[in-house]
């Protein structure tokens, strides 16, 4: 017979058991039956023994009955009834305190259950709270391990909840939490357990569910949250990030599973939010050997100290006349490093806590390599949110560094990369405002790849919006991607931001982008990253026809044209 187990949690027994009333009733019936039977037996057996065992008693009793029929017919039954009443009264006197005690225990038990229920319930959402999660997680996990049955753990964190509280007030934030609780209850099975374990944090235990199936459940929940609703406390769409793990596949202890789900949740935040990630042991920081971490940190330090980073520059082309508007400064790695590409280097720097140092090293390298660029052309520098959020970063000294390299703030664009998730949006906004006040332009990179870029557009004012490479590449093939590009371009135009399409590689893509309200573009078709930046204009019509064309004229506009376009778009937005 196959082994099965019911993973439904049974409430822990209360110290005040409330099941005594039926037993008391049964005890009372038994006691009365015993008393009655004892009296009858005593009456008949005792009377018989006396009548037949004592000489002369039997005839005497018969004579008394004949001589006193009234006594025999009235007094004896009365005495019999009084005896029964006396025994019953004595039994009642014994039972009454027990009944009172049982009633008191019942009342106390009811009060205890009510108090315990309130102690394990979140008062706002009606879900179970963190204490209940701890108790039931242990119980469910023990059953899962004992019977080798799947148990998935999903941790959820509502995206941008602090922004809702700060902008709309805590009352609206409470409505969002209530709506989240309602969605979770309605979308999950009766056997699934849902908890609110923190301010905007929720936990879900899914019995008999592995990680892959749990991800399907999580994505269904995410879809229900993102869609606007016709009814409910909070009707606007919202998103969450989630981290998944499962027992016994990934771990068999509560602490391990919690750490794994939390790490997967953090990865979802880093990857752009509005995502659900499954714990991956291969990339887990918790499973990395300390020696490997030390080696990576030392390798990052070698790159920083050796000064081996070398710059390359990719042109941003004006789609109206083919002139170079700006160069995006990128870095390449020296030979002999253990990192296969700059992305891996930045991941290692993040793990080692050296993102700020690496960003500044890249900026220094790019500024040295950009000395030959015509100053009428702009220079774009990539900076991580982690760098801008760190207390060590100061806008004033950064602008001074640019001036020492011969670059005025109005000529420089800061691209906010999406390598790292934004941790403190308010601090980041303040830093970007100070950079903009100094004259720099701020660009949002890789918009359209996920929800992270779109979220930042609603929270931070950008001068430039760079559409994600993958969207541009799909645009010529898929109508939905084309609509996304058009919508993003229109949205940026209403905000007075310039739109740059990234990743152009074919003539068809160029033809498509030029038909849309997009000001500029970059990609391998228009110019590959090069050590020596090519500042000549491009014949865009020839490129559309499949004929590579580069003119020899030096740019006649450059950053001044870029500034003029931005101001025109802002003016149009204000008038609208």
Residue given tokens 């660009």 in the structure block: 443
Question: Could you tell me the two tokens for 467?
Answer: 């559409």
Beta-strand ranges (E) seen in 474-523 are 498-502, 520-522
Does the annotation mark 192 as catalytic?
A: no
- 310's enclosing H/E stretch is strand 310-318
Cis, peptide link before residue 248, omega less than 30° from 0: yes
Beta-strand ranges (E) seen in 353-393 are 378-383
Number of H helices, E strands in the chain: 21, 13
Long-range contacts of 349-353 (CB under 8 A, 24+ apart): 349/300, 350/386, 350/419, 350/420, 351/285, 351/293, 351/296, 351/297, 352/293, 352/296, 352/297, 352/300
CA atoms within 13 A on the CB side of 70: 0
DSSP sequence for 36-98: HHHHHHHHHHHHHHHHHHSTTHHHHHHHHHHH-HHIIIIIHHHHHHHHHHHHHHHHHHHHHHH
Taking the C-alpha atoms of residue 354 and residue 38, their distance in angstroms, rounded to an integer, is: 92
Cβ burial, residue 553 (10 Å; 0-12/13-18/19+)? exposed
Question: Could you tell me the two tokens for 290?
Answer: 């300390």
Q: Which of 185, 175, 143, 204 is nearest to 8 (CA)?
A: 143
Q: Which of 390, 388, 425 is nearest to 163 (CA)?
A: 425
DSSP letter at 393 equals -
Taking the C-alpha atoms of residue 217 and residue 246, their distance in angstroms, rounded to an integer, is: 14
- 457's enclosing H/E stretch is helix 451-459
545 forms bridges with which residues in the sheet? none
Q: Which residue of the set 122, 160, 192, 200 is catalytic? A: 200
Question: Could you tell me the two tokens for 191?
Answer: 């056997």
- Kindly give the residue spans of alpha helices, DSSP state H, lying in 197-341: 211-226, 254-270, 290-306
CA atoms within 13 A on the CB side of 529: 14
- Give the contacts of 140 (CB within 8 A, at least 6 positions apart): 7, 9, 151, 193, 205, 207
Catalytically annotated residues: 200
């Amino acid at each position: 017979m196959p082994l099965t187990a019911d993973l439904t949690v049974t409430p822990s027994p209360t110290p005040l058991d409330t099941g005594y009333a039926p037993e008391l009733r049964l005890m009372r019936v038994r006691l009365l039956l015993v008393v009655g039977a004892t009296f009858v037996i005593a009456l008949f057996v005792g009377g018989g023994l006396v009548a037949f065992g004592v000489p002369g008693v039997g005839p005497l009793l018969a004579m008394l009955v004949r001589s006193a029929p009234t006594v025999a017919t009235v007094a004896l039954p009365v005495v019999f009834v009084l005896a029964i009443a006396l025994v019953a009264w004595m039994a009642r006197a014994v039972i009454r305190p027990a009944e009172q005690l049982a009633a008191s225990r019942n009342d106390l038990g009811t009060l205890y259950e009510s108090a315990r229920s309130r102690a394990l319930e979140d008062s706002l959402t009606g879900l179970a709270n963190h204490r209940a999660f701890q108790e039931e997680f242990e119980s469910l996990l023990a059953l899962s391990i004992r019977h080798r049955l799947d148990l998935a753990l999903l941790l959820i964190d509502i995206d941008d909840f602090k922004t809702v509280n700060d902008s709309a007030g805590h009352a609206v934030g409470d409505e969002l939490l209530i709506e989240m609780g309602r969605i979770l209850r309605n979308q999950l099975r009766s056997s699934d357990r849902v908890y609110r374990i923190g301010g905007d944090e929720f936990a879900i235990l899914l019995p008999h569910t592995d990680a892959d199936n749990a991800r399907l459940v999580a994505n269904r929940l995410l879809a229900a949250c993102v869609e606007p609703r016709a009814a409910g406390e909070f009707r606007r769409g919202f998103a969450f990030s989630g981290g998944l793990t499962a027992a016994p596949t990934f771990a068999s202890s509560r602490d391990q599973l919690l750490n794994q789900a939390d790490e997967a949740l953090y990865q979802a935040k880093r990857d752009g939010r509005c995502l659900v990630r499954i714990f991956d042991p291969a990339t887990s920081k918790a499973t990395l050997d300390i020696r490997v971490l030390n080696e990576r940190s030392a390798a990052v330090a070698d790159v920083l100290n050796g000064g081996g980073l070398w710059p390359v520059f990719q042109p941003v082309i004006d789609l109206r006349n083919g002139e170079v508007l700006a160069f995006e400064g990128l870095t390449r790695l020296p030979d002999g490093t253990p990192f296969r590409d700059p992305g891996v280097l930045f991941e290692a720097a993040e793990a080692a806590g050296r993102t700020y140092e690496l960003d500044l090293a890249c900026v220094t390298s790019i500024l040295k390599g950009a000395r030959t660029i015509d100053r009428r052309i702009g220079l774009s520098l990539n900076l991580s949110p982690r760098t801008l959020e760190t207390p060590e970063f100061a806008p004033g000294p950064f602008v001074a560094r640019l001036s020492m390299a011969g670059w005025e703030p109005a000529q420089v664009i800061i691209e906010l990369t999406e390598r790292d998730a934004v941790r403190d949006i308010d601090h980041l906004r303040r830093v970007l405002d100070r950079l903009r006040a100094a004259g720099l332009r701020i660009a949002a990179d890789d918009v359209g790849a996920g929800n992270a870029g779109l979220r930042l557009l609603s929270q931070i004012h950008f001068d430039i919006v760079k559409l994600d490479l993958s969207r541009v590449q799909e645009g010529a093939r898929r109508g939905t991607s084309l609509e996304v590009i058009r919508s993003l371009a229109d949205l940026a135009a209403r905000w007075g931001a310039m739109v740059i399409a990234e990743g152009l590689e074919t003539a068809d893509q160029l033809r498509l982008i030029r038909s849309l309200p997009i000001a500029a573009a970059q990609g391998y078709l228009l110019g590959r990253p090069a050590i020596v930046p090519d500042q000549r204009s491009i014949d865009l019509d020839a490129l559309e026809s499949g004929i590579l064309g580069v003119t020899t004229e030096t740019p006649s506009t450059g950053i001044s044209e870029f500034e003029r376009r931005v101001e025109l778009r802002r003016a149009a937005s204000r008038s609208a």
